[in-house]
Structure 1
Amino acid sequence: MAPLPTLFVSHGSPMLALEPDAPAHRFLKGLAGLVERPQAILAISAHWETPVPALSLAERPQTIHDFRGFPPALFAMQYPAPGAPALARRAGTLLDQAGLAVAYSSTRGLDHGAWTPLALAWPAADIPITQLSVQPHRDAAHHAAVGAALRPLRNEGVLVLGSGSFSHNLMEFRGQGPAAPSPAWVTAFADWMRQALLEGRHADLLAWDRLAPEARRNHPTPEHLWPLYTALGVGTPGQPARLLHSSTDRAILAMDAFAFD
């Protein structure tokens, strides 16, 4: 098997799972056709935050509905994929060999950052999956180093899937509809980040909070950006990213997705 690319996707609002007309929904529905079927998936979700990288050993991860105020149909959704505890242990060994602290959870299920894109891309829920956390108090370089340690997994039939949001400031949400146009402060940031990724400007990307326009307005807290950096780290050093999708959701959520070869 050739090395698999690693992916970053934006999961947007939980409602994305129920909005078939949304461009990002349609993209995720076709995601499985863009990559060779993996033997297992390691998902990095913005919605699992821990002090050090943590991996789930759950054999049957529960579907976590980590949100409030949404329609009953969303809470009824289940993603009963088998767990991948052996992959979690393998990933933990790689992190340990790279000198990174690692922790495990025997019970952690799949939060909506993981199951929303997975349910659209692989609805049969028949690929084993484990989840990896982010460290909100750490920086981009740390998350890229986590990814670099996991790079051997690409040669082992594992799809590393980062799931966050290319922009994410929910304090700016004013009830905008799914197709509402983005304000200039979202567009400027997304354009800068996208160009830096496509040009392989990894040093600039590590300094995103200083160099990207409107960086902190788009990410007042950075947890939704960290899965992008882990995916970047898993990819080949210096290799430009491939843009797979670009759209916006509710004006403030840039929904870009990338592949790293």
Structure 2
Amino acid sequence: MSRFPTVFISHGAPTLPIDPSMPSAGFASLAATLPRPRAILMLSAHWGTGDPAASIAERPETIHDFYGFPRALYELRYPAPGAPDVARRAAALLGDDGIAAATTIHGLDHGAWVPLLLMFPDADVPVAQLSIQPRRDPAHHFRVGRALRELRDDGVMIVGSGQITHNLRMADFSARPEDADPRVAEFTDWFEARLAARDIDALLDYRARAPHAALMHPTDEHLLPVFGALGAAADDYRLDVQSLGTFQRALAMTNYVFTDA
């Protein structure tokens, strides 16, 4: 069996599963193109620690880590089993590569369970979550992904969940997709072109090289998961892009799949 692909998801607002104006069906379509994994290792923008931490929860709780949304959203649960074996293996691989890592108990935040609810609605694929390091740079997260590569040989899909553009101060929640700020496309077009060219040096230096980088990402945390997925991909990966549009004027819903060539 070939190595499993790695994936980056723009997970959107927490309301993705209940808001008919959002492109929730696109996540099911994406899942239909992917092989069914034995387990998922999820790197979400919403769990940050100083050093990598892998959750060995047997039954990770559904964390509603947001405020002021409709009651129906708080009633949703994603009861997927945990994957403690994957978490322990991930921590060991990181340690072998000289990256300090720990195991702990942590639930699934909305960056993890919201897209998984749409992609694997039966909640029957075990999930382990690995934290990101918001104070560390893209190169660190790329190195983390590289250390985890061999998990893909064992049926594990490594998924980064963040947002390809994320500046909530620019957001207009009444905007239509056609009202997107043109600078969003300028940034995403640059990022996609660099991904397609496998220009890792430029991507890791995106804050200096990408157009409007600081505007699209005032802080890094929603883009860092893509570098974990990219690091875990093959050197000669094939890039597949799923562009679902731009919502709330500033949030591009673009997903990437990195498949072995």
Aligned pairs for 1:75-224 within 5 A: 75-106=74-105, 108-177=106-175, 179-224=177-222
**Greater mean alpha carbon deviation, residues 179-188 or residues 132-141:** 179-188
Q: Structure 2: how far apart are the matches of 1:242 and 1:127?
A: 23
CA contact (8 A) 1:199 1:241 kept: no
2:54 is matched with which residue?
55
1:244 is matched with which residue?
242
Aligned pairs for 1:22-37 within 5 A: 22-23=22-23, 25-37=24-36
> By how many angstroms is 1:178 displaced?
5.3
> By how many angstroms is 1:182 displaced?
1.2
Letter in 2 for 1:2: S
Letter in 2 for 1:78: R
1:45 is matched with which residue?
44
2:4 is matched with which residue?
4
2:227 is matched with which residue?
229
Q: Structure 2: how far apart are the matches of 1:183 and 1:119?
A: 29
**SS at the partner of 2:103?**
strand
Classify 1:116/1:217 alpha carbon distance in 2 versus 1 (closer, same or farther; 3 Å).
same
Letter in 2 for 1:64: I
CA contact (8 A) 1:38 1:157 kept: yes
Q: Structure 2: how far apart are the matches of 1:184 and 1:33?
A: 31
Q: Percent identity?
A: 46
2:14 is matched with which residue?
14
**SS at the partner of 1:189?**
helix
CA contact (8 A) 2:117 2:123 kept: yes
Q: Which TM-score applies when normalising by structure 1?
A: 0.96
Q: Structure 2: how far apart are the matches of 1:162 and 1:44?
A: 5
How many residues are treated as equivalent by the alignment? 259
Q: Structure 1: how far apart are the matches of 2:179 and 2:195?
A: 23
**SS at the partner of 1:236?**
coil
Q: Structure 2: how far apart are the matches of 1:56 and 1:180?
A: 40
Q: RMSD of aligned C-alpha atoms? A: 1.3
Letter in 2 for 1:72: R
> By how many angstroms is 1:184 displaced?
2.1
CA contact (8 A) 2:245 2:252 kept: yes
> By how many angstroms is 1:186 displaced?
1.5
Q: Which TM-score applies when normalising by structure 2?
A: 0.96
> By how many angstroms is 1:193 displaced?
0.7
> By how many angstroms is 1:238 displaced?
4.4
Q: Structure 2: how far apart are the matches of 1:175 and 1:89?
A: 40
Q: Structure 2: how far apart are the matches of 1:19 and 1:196?
A: 32
Q: Structure 2: how far apart are the matches of 1:174 and 1:254?
A: 13
Classify 1:251/1:86 alpha carbon distance in 2 versus 1 (closer, same or farther; 3 Å).
same
Unaligned 5+ segments in structure 1 are: none
Q: Structure 1: how far apart are the matches of 2:140 and 2:214?
A: 19
> By how many angstroms is 1:239 displaced?
3.0
> By how many angstroms is 1:61 displaced?
0.3
> By how many angstroms is 1:240 displaced?
4.7
> By how many angstroms is 1:66 displaced?
0.5
Letter in 2 for 1:255: M
CA contact (8 A) 2:90 2:148 kept: yes
Letter in 2 for 1:88: A
